[in-house]
Amino acid sequence: MPLSREPRLRPVAIADLRPTQITVGMREVEAKRKNWKSHPDYKKADFLGKHLIPVIWGHGERYYVIDHHHLTLALHKEGVKHIAVTVVADLRNLDEESFWFNLDNRGWMHPFDEKGQRRGYKDVPKKITGLVDDPYRSLAGELRRIGGFAKDTTPFSEFLWADFLRRGVKRKLIEADFAKALERAMKLARSGDADYLPGWCGPLA
């Protein structure tokens, strides 16, 4: 199974990229759109060159995104047509069932819906634009940004935090008053109940 981190020199159309998860935090996508807009045009090419999208070259000769789904969707919404990718593994020789099984067992996919329920492989969208909103993923992303937990190399760590927050913060609160929901999330994040999660920072002093 060839493994590689070499970038593809030929840009890949974002519309052709396949996601390996079902949801994103749309609030975070919008934040990334805002960040992209803040860059002057002459710096945007440099930005893209520094943000290669990791993919698996897989079934059907397609590229499957295994990280940076939020950025990829944000760029698409901003009208960016192509982006450079870095191929992490070449799994083109696997049949469809074996391909998804390998992605799942190597932590390269997250087949959970906006309610935190595991779904079948066929429920994973076929387009980046098919990703749906999970408000708890947005809450977890913002919580990490303000220091509620540390960045961690554990795959899909923010989704683990999202599922933890799902049990302690009402969705209605997130939708009605994000700031209050974030305040509640911070208290939960610094409690002992969260000590099993990646990037836990310990209790508040």
The answer to the question of residue 120 being in a domain is yes
Structure tokens that stand for 37 in this block: 């807009």
Amino acid 205: pLDDT: 57
Could you tell me which of 145, 179, 139 has the C-alpha nearest to residue 162?
Answer: 139
Cβ neighbors of 27 (< 8 A, separation 6 or more) are 135, 138, 141, 142, 178
- Report the distance separating Cα 171 and Cα 179, nearest Å: 13
Are residues 96 and 57 part of one domain? yes
Q: Which residue range forms the structural domain that includes residue 36?
A: 12-133
Are residues 75 and 21 part of one domain? yes
68 dihedral zone (left: phi>0; alpha: psi -120 to 50; beta): left
Are residues 104 and 179 part of one domain? no
The answer to the question of residue 199 being in a domain is no
Question: Within the chain, how many helices (H) and strands (E) appear?
Answer: 8, 7
The answer to the question of residue 39 being in a domain is yes
Are residues 87 and 17 part of one domain? yes
CATH number for position 187: 1.10.8.10
Amino acid 3: pLDDT: 58
Amino acid 8: pLDDT: 57
CATH number for position 72: 3.90.1530.10
Q: Which residues pair with 54 in a beta bridge?
A: 86
CA distances from 157 to 8, 73, 107, 115, 193 (A): 27, 19, 11, 17, 16
Per-residue pLDDT of the chain (205 residues; tens, 9 = 90+): 555 555 555 689 999 999 999 999 999 999 999 999 999 999 999 999 999 999 999 989 999 999 999 999 999 999 999 999 999 999 999 999 999 999 999 999 999 999 999 999 999 999 999 999 999 999 999 999 999 999 988 889 999 999 999 999 999 999 999 999 999 999 999 999 999 999 999 886 5
- Report the distance separating Cα 81 and Cα 44, nearest Å: 13
Are residues 156 and 121 part of one domain? no
Are residues 105 and 188 part of one domain? no
Length, in residues, of the chain: 205
The answer to the question of residue 38 being in a domain is yes
Per the structure, how many domains does the chain have? 2
CA distances from 202 to 60, 115, 132, 196 (A): 45, 27, 32, 10
- Residue 7, Cα to own-chain centre: how many angstroms? 20
